[in-house]
Amino acid sequence: MMQVTDIFDQALHQINWDDHKNLEQLESKLYRFKLAWLQKDRNHIQMLSSQYTGVYKAVFSQIDMDNFFKIFNLSGKVLRTSIIKLPEIKKTWNVVTNPMYQLCVYLMHKYTVTKYKYLERVLILLYELTSYAMLTSILYQFYKREQTIAEAKAVFEKLNYKFLLKKLGSWDSVIKYKAKTVMEGGRFYEAIVRLNTLNSIDIISGIQTSYKSLIINIASLSHGGITGTIDTSTTVVNTMDGETDIKVIENASNYTNYIKSIVGIKNDFINRPLVSIVAKRLKNVEDVHLIESLSLVSIDYEKPKKDDKLIDDIMTFSMEYLNSRNITKYTDLAYIQSLKGFWSFGNVKTKPVKDKIKEYVYNATGKKTEWVLNGLVIAVLIYIFSRAIIKK
């Protein structure tokens, strides 16, 4: 099946990826493009160096986009025509069909797998270019009216230090910090290394989701903002066409509270028909081993655990991922394959969750073979989420 990497392999066939001097020259061209965009006017410089939101109107225009593709002697319009023909992509997904985002992710992949000697530097650069286009577009959606410095300062002072912008002090610092997600150990690193169309979709929509959720929460505190307060019961749902809704997932907190209320009651927690469904859909997972693992989890939770975040994290991370893929209905259990991919790759954030579940699986089954252990870990994670959803 045709992949997005095939499109760019063909379009950039003239680049010798084994010639590091050639790669340095390309990086230099990308860096000069970055400087040209930053130095367009005062707004562009100030937007990035400032801690304020909605004050400085930086724009990533179609002319900027065209100039980006001139670096490669390519047409963005022609590339998008090829991208929307891919079987795993829909034409209406404006964000993930954006040829600049797709090309930046492809370049991250190529620089990574060729073990470029200045890899961290070029990954930050490519992440910055993606962010400039993405961030300015999102800011335009939520700040059509230019904010005064006084208004933006009042909002900034309301932010607590859970906000990266408050902690780091400028949008430029936020972008550079988020660039860690595409580096080794980061959330998207494995997807960058093993790039294909689905992984590229996950990376682009994931980057957009992280910026959009941050801006929505900041905008909610602005004068005339979305709600006037940050509503922690809401989840940002980003559709693939780049539109945004702030939705309260129906009974989202109830799902988590429900599973926490039954996890320590073995006969309620372990639903054998559901065990069979999960094991069958994941393959290479035996019902008996999944039940053994779930039983140990249940025993450990017979007494409520103070300040334990395991169940909350399983539910939160799973829902966040499914929402980023525009999956909000769970009735047919079709989400299982999506969650399998998510938990299989994992990231820095999910690693402690997987490690804890791995302890349960090993102690319950005594299995030592890595692929068997990993399969059971994913099965337990998906079962816990599914058990909360079916509520039966």
Let me know whether 122 and 225 are in one domain: yes
Beta strands in the chain (DSSP E): 235-238, 244-247
Let me know whether 289 and 351 are in one domain: yes
Q: Which domain holds residue 213?
A: 4-247
Q: Which residues of the chain have pLDDT under 70?
A: 222-253, 331-332, 392
Torsion-angle region of 247 (φ positive above 0: left; ψ -120 to 50: alpha; else: beta): beta
Boundary residue ending a domain (223, 247, 271): 247
Total domain count, the chain: 2
Q: Encode pLDDT of 349-381 as tens digits.
A: 888 999 999 999 999 999 888 888 999 999 999
Let me know whether 230 and 263 are in one domain: no
Let me know whether 318 and 367 are in one domain: yes
Let me know whether 189 and 298 are in one domain: no
Let me know whether 190 and 312 are in one domain: no
Let me know whether 273 and 318 are in one domain: yes
Boundary residue ending a domain (247, 269, 288): 247
How much is the pLDDT for 252? Answer: 59
How much is the pLDDT for 240? Answer: 33
For strands 244-247 and 235-238, give the pairing. antiparallel
Let me know whether 164 and 21 are in one domain: yes
Let me know whether 222 and 338 are in one domain: no
How much is the pLDDT for 332? Answer: 67
Let me know whether 20 and 139 are in one domain: yes
69 alpha carbon, distance to own chain's centre:
25
Boundary residue ending a domain (247, 262, 283): 247
Let me know whether 235 and 372 are in one domain: no
Q: Encode pLDDT of 42-98 as tens digits.
A: 889 888 898 888 888 889 999 999 999 999 999 999 999 999 999 888 888 888 999
Cα–Cα distance list, 85 to 74, 91, 227, 363 (Å):
18, 8, 39, 48
Cα–Cα distance list, 208 to 214, 230, 241, 268, 355 (Å):
10, 19, 11, 39, 28
Let me know whether 220 and 257 are in one domain: no
**Nearest-angstrom CA–CA distance, 195 and 192:** 5
